[in-house]
Structure 1
Amino acid sequence: MTTLENSYHYQVIARALDQIDAAGTKPLPLPDLAAKLGMSAAHFQKVFSAWVGVSPKRYQQYLSLDLARDLLAKRLPLEAVADHSGLSGSSRLHDLFLRWEAMSPGDYAKGGAGLTIRTGWFPSPFGEVLAMGTDRGLCGMAFAADCGPDATMADLRARWPAAQFTEDPAAIAPWVEAALGQRGHTALHLIGAPFQIKVWEALLQIPSGHVTTYSDIAGAIGHPRAVRAVGTAVGRNPVAFLIPCHRALRKSGGLGGYHWGLPVKRAMLAWETARYEAGQPMTV
């Protein structure tokens, strides 16, 4: 199942996640959850398992508040990130071939002047996604479920106030499909301050099914005391999911904040962990 093949599945899953999240730590039996969605238990089980790779019951266990602490116990070291030279190049993330480059500090200071940024809305397993891209690659992806489409659009546009924006989803659709599906080829154009870009680069090293902490990121980029600044940069990440800021947690095991809504962060972590531990491909 690819990201753009069947929007029906996304609508079902989004509604299911809302119900699971609203239930908190109280388990929702399969028949009850299916009934809330107007589906038979058998059909819902099939759709849900195809999406996440595990049953709804198992997925609810991954949504528990202990998930973050469990993941922290298995986090990967990020020391190698500090030795990474430059941003030009490519990285293999699961089945995704990602090419990225960064805007120069001088160009960033111009607020996007001279850039044409194409925009479009796309379905995803975590709600509707606003995507933006320059001629060089994706520069923005944001989930709108928490703050609404108008505020989401305003938020991303404000990052580059001098840029020209045009609605052209077809132009960026192949990048978005590859990014959300984590397979194929996509390009990423990092538009941010130099410190922010270092943090976002560190986030790109964290594979699905794993997490890190803000303090680990600070150490990996050579600024061990800049934990608060790292947290701010993580929160300013404009490319949700592809630059996985949702995989950054507090040292205490708390989820921390998430610019696009904590329910989305928790759902993404649970989805990735479930598929990782079930040995499923990281595709949707």
Structure 2
Amino acid sequence: MTDLEQSYHYGVVRRAIELIDEKGAGLSLDALASEMGMSPAHFQRLFSQWVGVSPKRYQQYLALGHAKTLLKERFTTLAAAHGAGLSGGSRLHDLFVRWEAMSPGDFAKGGAGLTIFWGWFESPFGPALVMGTDKGICGIGFSAETGAEPAMADLKSRWPKAQYVEDPMRLAPWVNAAFGTEPATEAPLYLIGAPFQIKVWEALLTIPTGHVTTYSEIADHIGHPKAVRAVGTAVGRNPISWLIPCHRALRKSGGLGGYHWGLPVKRAMLAYEAGRTGM
């Protein structure tokens, strides 16, 4: 698939998601396909390919009260999740993830002396920019809502003094594991952040696939119950989207909250996981 085709297809799915959000549940496949200027069969295949579930199931998952339903039925108490062994060294996202964090002193250097390899890849959520060091993936961003250049600038700004080298082949095995095309492959992560941020990201790693938690629950888990706003900021600054599942963090009210790479991407991720966990 060419970049132009990929961009067009994501645009179609994005418009469909926006229409579902605007109109609410109950839109028929024929009506959605007509709005997109496609045949029902073609639109169904395209939507399912990108979102991971059919338009009908997407409406069931994400129209209106889905976030509240998740909190009611799939809420994860992080202490219980950790007690069950769901931590950074366990099986997460249906693939094996191991992780380590950069030391605070090294983080303070802004990436000086660090070589970061990068490349663009296809993903279920649009074009993905993946970055990694010799130790593992350190950044994943999505450009469907932001554009390629802003996504690149965003991730590079996290580690401004690092040396960046384009080398997608070097990252490909980890990326294939990250997006499930090679589930037996290990996807190591290298967390580059401030100590408080890394605590928050570690907490996110304990949330099982298909479940959600709240910002306040994360704050309690890391021992800073009054730091809900700071936790929200750290969640938003998570550089390894999807693998560190910031999309599973919701407001206590059941609202989706924000998402660094755009709410349509967050909605698609939740629907994608719901479809694979049989919700």
Give 1:197 shift.
0.5
SS in 1 for 2:179: helix
Q: Which residue of 2 aligns with 1:17?
A: 13
How many residues matched? 272
Q: Distance in 1 between matches of 2:174 and 2:215?
A: 28
Q: Distance in 2 between matches of 1:230 and 1:92?
A: 24
Between the aligned partners of 2:52 and 2:72, the Cα distance in structure 1 is: 23
Whole-angstrom distance in 1 between the partners of 2:223 and 2:180: 32
CA distance in 2, matches of 1:91, 1:134: 22
What CA distance in whole angstroms lies between the structure 2 residues aligned with 1:141 and 1:251? 26
Deviations 1:138-195 (A, max 9, x none): 0000011222111111111010011000111111111111112282311100000111
Per the TM alignment, residue 17 of structure 1 is displaced from its structure 2 partner at its CA by: 2.4
Equivalent residues of 1:81, 1:220 under 8 A apart:
no
Deviations 1:237-266 (A, max 9, x none): 001111000110111111111111112112
Q: Compute the TM-score of the two structures, normalised by the length of structure 1.
A: 0.86
**Aligned position for 2:67:** 68
2:194 partner amino acid = A
Q: Give distance in 2, aligned partners of 1:261 and 1:84.
A: 32
Q: Secondary structure at the match of 1:73?
A: helix
Structure 1 residues without counterparts, runs of 5 or longer: 279-284
Alignment of 1:36-55 (within 5 A): 39-46=38-45, 48-49=47-48, 54-55=53-54
Equivalent residues of 2:13, 2:50 under 8 A apart: no
**CA distance in 2: counterparts of 1:13 and 1:257, whole angstroms:** 24
Post-superposition offset of 1:15: 3.9
Amino-acid identity (%): 63
* 1:242 is aligned to 2:243: yes
How much does 1:81 deviate? 6.4
Root-mean-square deviation (Å) = 2.7
CA gap 1:102/1:190 in 2 versus in 1, 3 angstroms: same
**Which runs of 5 or more structure 2 residues have no equivalent in the other structure?**
none
- 2:268 maps to what in 1? 267
TM-score, normalised to structure 2, is 0.87
Distance in 1 (alpha carbons) for counterparts of 2:53 and 2:229: 36
- Per the TM alignment, residue 267 of structure 1 is displaced from its structure 2 partner at its CA by 1.8
